[in-house]
Amino acid sequence: MKITVIGAGAMGSVYGGHLSRKHQVYLVDTKPDIVTQINREGLKIDEDGVTNTYHPTAVTGTEGLGEMDLVILFVKSIYSRAALAGNQGVIGEKTRLLTLQNGAGHEDILKEFVPEDRVIIGTTEDNGAVLAPGHVRRGGVGNTNIGMLTEDREEFLPQLKEAFDSCGFQVKIHENIQYLIWDKLFTNVSLSAVTGILLVDMGFIAENEYAWNLTKALIHEAIAVAGALGLSFDEEAVTERVRQTSMGNPAGCTSIRADLRDGRRTEVNTISGSVVTAAKRCGVSVPSHEFVVNMVHAMEMKK
């Protein structure tokens, strides 16, 4: 396959590096130092106790590369539209777009660039961290869960699975990928959102009565929206799972909290904001989520 991976952060590097073992991979990043380092010394990934080196072609732009079979989006969601617009030359009539980004609702942006039947959405259970330019650590390894918005008439997903699995991934194809995305979303729109606006570790949420009350309200609203979308979840089970996540990671720092702490823009629009957007479509009231989105954006503007 001819593949472009947009974003050479931790996850983009993990996927771009491994896929380059058997495919023609272009790894795109706007930072020249990362691109130079990868092209000069290879992309280094610490995994299984060793440092492996991979050789995707790193570029700062995709002009002249031609159309791809697959474009994988691994930028922060607030940059998704700009990233696709800036690399539109690699998107042809048969190119598929894949997002494994956190949150939900990414398909709305992807559908601006390709028809609905060429959009693939999913989640990844892998994780990683950037150690230095061109050097990342692959942490936990898990499933890459994928699905489509429409029927896979050309049977592309089995081809994608074979291509990825041959490079060390574990792809699972789902008929209803939205169910999985929302199941993962519940923790982010509750635990992550509240740690962000309070700027606290994950353990504080289950320990504090008031923080836990807000967390439960967010879960309740999100499950109501999911139900309106035809996705049924056990609220008690989801709530207990979030509580156990809080208790099991007392010093954990969520991405929203880290971004607010370090003065960066967050991905709240595709996390809590995705619930608000879906709620408006379905006619469901979500005042707690509206509060969270407004609060996070206000905190982003603090100096």
* Identity of the amino acid at 280: K
Residue with tokens 């990928």: 177
For residues 13 and 136, give the distance between their C-alpha atoms in angstroms, rounded to a whole number: 7
pLDDT band, residue 29 (cuts 50/70/90): very high
Percent over 70 (pLDDT), the chain: 100
The whole-model pTM stands at 0.86
Residue with tokens 């700062």: 60
Q: What is the mean pLDDT of residues 270-288?
A: 96
Q: What is the mean pLDDT of residues 33-37?
A: 96
* Identity of the amino acid at 136: V
Pair of tokens at residue 198: 């309070």
pLDDT band, residue 141 (cuts 50/70/90): confident
Average pLDDT over the chain, rounded to an integer:
95
> Helix axis angle, 209-228 relative to 287-300, nearest 10°?
120
43 touches 17 (CB < 8 A): yes
Pair of tokens at residue 187: 């923790």
What lies within 8 Å, CB to CB, of 298 at 6+ separation is none
pLDDT band, residue 102 (cuts 50/70/90): confident
Using the predicted structure, report yes or no on whether residue 256 has a pLDDT greater than 90. yes
Q: For the chain, which domains are there?
A: 2-175 (3.40.50.720), 178-300 (1.10.1040.10)
Segment 185-209, tens digit of pLDDT: 999 999 999 999 999 999 999 999 9
User: Of 39-53, 129-143, 181-195, 220-234, where does mean pLDDT reach its minimum?
Assistant: 129-143
